[in-house]
Amino acid sequence: MTFPAPIEVLPHRAPFLLLDLVTDLRLGEGAVGEWHLSGNEEFFIGHFPGRPTLPGVLMLEAIAQLGAYAVLSDPTHAGKLPLFGGVEKARFRRQVVPGDTLRLEITLGRMSARAGKGSGRALVGDAVACEAEILFVFADAD
């Protein structure tokens, strides 16, 4: 099954669209996607010279963007903008470097008309690079 490109669902744009592809979507439940790191991303220049490493906060943002994709794919949330409300239990377990592909996974939890929660992780191959609980609040997209 093919899903709409992230740019068709999310309000994010380059250089801050950190989701390349959605490979699975279960409305109201969660999603799986990918972010391919070519090594040409500008943050690698300064983080860190001689040893480029993906910043952990960008892994969290990529997980959150996949969560936003899952939420915004549900017509119930049309016209809304999910914003970060918090991050809990974040753990970074593996360095991510140029050339890696992050497989992103999010499972949606509690949802209300005003906020929600998801549990996500980023993996390289079978190795967990990052995991966290993401809290978000809805704003009007206008």
- Scanning the structure block, which residue is given the tokens 């991050």? 87
Catalytic residue among 12, 36, 47, 77: 47
Position 124 in a domain: yes
Position 12 in a domain: yes
Residue 21 DSSP one-character state:
E
- Whether 47 is a known active-site residue: answer yes
Decide: 95 and 62 in contact? Cβ < 8 Å: no
Q: What CATH number does the domain containing 67 carry?
A: 3.10.129.10
Position 93 in a domain: yes
pTM beyond cutoff 0.85: yes
| Most distant pair of Cα atoms in the chain: their distance | 47
Mean pLDDT of the chain: 96
- Scanning the structure block, which residue is given the tokens 């996974």? 105
Decide: 43 and 58 in contact? Cβ < 8 Å: yes
Number of domains in the chain: 1
Domain extent for 87? 6-140
* Residue 80 binned pLDDT confidence (cut-offs 50, 70, 90): very high
Position 1 in a domain: no
Q: Express each pLDDT in 2-61 by its tens digit.
A: 999 999 999 999 999 999 999 999 999 999 999 999 999 999 999 999 999 999 999 999
